[in-house]
Structure 1
């Protein structure tokens, strides 16, 4: 929030709060940062300086280093000695990988709000303060994530926002806000871990992070669990710089454009080829459903969206060989709106009807 005459102004909600409405300092939640490192000596100094330059400093930083070999451990020791806040450095005995490394860092945090941090970005000075105030003003939110500016390796260029890269546009955000959070996330993760804050009280439902989440990594898992409870929010503001470089384990990379399936192909290709992607989607959703069912109650409000999508792809991937027997279930699914609902977001308006035709004829 920005200081104004007589109070604070929220750039997120557009609301001005007078001093009486603003929580007193002793009511402010404590803040931890969970920072994971691995051979980050080239980028860590810049990110670390951006943490030191925050308008609101964290109460602690927990660093989990995944057996770096490039001088990162020595650099972290220097940071910890000079930091204006407590720093704990955890050195892994075996390499954990990013999922379990973040799990270890998150588990060690003691703050009421935990920020996830990558080693190679840069946080804008207002990031912690803005997101802490958002969580204060939205007590039902257990998870929140912000946007970022996508930059080059030298942190230059702010022409593109991260949400554009993951198709989290205005229309998709409107679907999210109207109750389609789980649907949006099952199309692909929109939440970047290093842009996320989590209430520590929500960690028991998130951890441990499963070893394998088909199509997702640790941040996608956190987002999906939050979606089951409808407790994940987004802050429509870029609050950091997202560095892109060749050493990234996970990053924003151009996705290959799938070959267009022509009508002639639909009528001549082997049925196994047509069914393969549907089987993969059905298996993915089934595994995700099983993983989530172990963490949340069966009446979690976001689960029906998952089950509806799973039922759709289960039906499509197990249609009978007899074409006549496919007509009724396919047309019923079309009437229920599922072919339109689960079409690729970037697909043409007639794509659902091509899928119907393919399911009946192929």
Structure 2
């Protein structure tokens, strides 16, 4: 028998595209699904739409936040309600191919998480001629060190094992929930990548997080605030990493990045030079590029 898979969707004032997305979720070919929709105190017609679907499909569990909690906490609430052996996360404004869950479930193997490519579409659902892989480096991740300088395994295209949650939760307000889930997967069975577009990833003016992060609103205003957030994230992944060599490396690197002395600066350069293949994997730099990037840490921490 196929294992139960939970699809968790967080919504907030998403009435414009919501029906198209929910229809694509309900039409998934995978035979054993539950749907957990968590609305974050919407003020438009989102709840009316969700209540209508929930009344007609017993697989849907609808949770309504009485006050706005933000997308991280809203996803966390839904994830904690999930009963499935595997969990998939859904945005409110995309469109899933009917085979998405089936293909991910068939391809995950012994990995803890799998994610796929996505086709980028405009606000009307029209293809814009690019896939996510055209603008983001999409790779497999086999080590927690690979999340040191960022990663890209987006929530809208991932399927992961529920047993990751003791590493991935609770969420925090300075790191995205899917980053924490991805990092947790590297601490367990790793992440694999399916180079096939299984989602129409809609790009529009009100995306919470779109494909082009360069245009996203920065969570900081000054370099000091930026460095503080980086240090918080480095400390967090060190703390959540299981005991072992990687945890020691992340601890030493986090401590060196938090310091300002010349010894701290030299220490973080040496650590990065020693582990540059893993730490800079997402950046895709050449050996020479990694070598030169290491020296950047004498001046900056990122």
Instruction: Identify the TM-score tier after normalising by the shorter chain.
Output: 0.7 to 0.9
Deviation of the 1:340 alpha carbon: 8.8
Confirm or deny that 1:236 pairs with 2:195: yes
Matches within 5 A, 1:53-92: 53-83=27-57, 85-92=58-65
Q: How many residues align?
A: 291
Using the TM superposition, give the Cα deviation of residue 337 of structure 1 relative to its aligned residue in structure 2, in angstroms.
4.9
**Matched residue of 1:133: which SS?**
helix
Deviation string for 1:16-45 (max 9, x for gaps)? xxxxxxxxxx2x111111011111110011
Give the gaps of 5 or more residues in structure 1: 1-25, 257-275, 321-325
Query: 1:306 and 1:295, CA in 2 relative to 1: closer, same or farther beyond 3 A?
Result: closer
3-state SS, counterpart of residue 55 of structure 1 = coil
Distance 1:289 1:350 in 2: 22
Q: Does 1:31 align with 2:26?
A: no
Change (3 A) 1:158 1:53: farther
CA RMSD of the aligned region, Å? 3.6
Tell me if structure 1 keeps the 8 A contact 2:169–2:180: no
Contact 1:34 1:61 (8 Å CA) reproduced: yes
**Aligned partner (choices 229, 249, 274) of residue 208 of structure 2:** 249
Inter-CA distance 306–147: structure 2 relative to 1 (3 Å threshold) = farther
Aligned pairs (5 A) from 1:130-145: 130-135=103-108, 138-139=109-110, 141-145=111-115
Helix, strand or coil for the counterpart of 1:237? strand
Task: From the superposition, tell whether residues 233 and 278 of structure 1 become closer, same or farther in structure 2 (CA, over 3 Å).
Answer: farther
> Closer, same or farther in 2 for the Cα pair 1:48/1:296, shift >3 Å?
same
Tell which structure's C-alpha radius of gyration is larger. 1
Q: Is the 8 A contact 2:38 2:78 kept in 1?
A: yes
Say if 2:144 and 2:187, in contact at 8 Å, map to a contact too. yes
SS at match of 1:255: helix
1:18-167 equivalences under 5 Å are 26=1, 28-83=2-57, 85-135=58-108, 138-139=109-110, 141-157=111-127, 159-167=129-137
Q: Is 1:288 matched up with 2:233?
A: yes
1:194 to 143, 148, 156: 156
Unpaired segments of 5 or more residues in structure 2? 216-221
SS in structure 2 at match of 1:159: strand
**Contact 1:227–1:302 under 8 Å retained in 2:** no
Q: Return the offset for 1:338.
A: 6.4
Question: Closer, same or farther in 2 for the Cα pair 1:298/1:284, shift >3 Å?
Answer: farther
Selected match of 1:224 from 158, 175, 183: 183
Change (3 A) 1:356 1:234: closer
Q: CA deviation at 1:309?
A: 4.5
Q: Distance in 1 between matches of 2:6 and 2:293?
A: 50
**CA drift at 1:64:** 0.4
Label 1:304 to 1:228 Cα distance change in 2 as closer, same or farther (>3 A): farther
**Offset at 1:90?**
0.3
Alpha-carbon distance between aligned partners in 2 of 1:335 and 1:34, rounded to the nearest angstrom: 37
Q: Deviations over 1:263-306 (max 9, x none)?
A: xxxxxxxxxxxxx969955x55542343345444322x643553
**Shift, 1:184, TM fit:** 3.7
1:159 CA displacement: 2.1
* Residue 52 of structure 1: how far off its partner (Å): 2.2
Q: Does structure 1 retain, via aligned residues, the 8 Å contact 2:273–2:291?
A: no
Tell me: CA distance 1:67–1:240, structure 2 relative to 1, closer, same or farther (3 Å). Answer: same
Give 1:231 deviation, angstroms: 2.6
TM-score by length of 2: 0.81
Q: Counterpart of 2:214 in 1: which secondary structure? A: coil
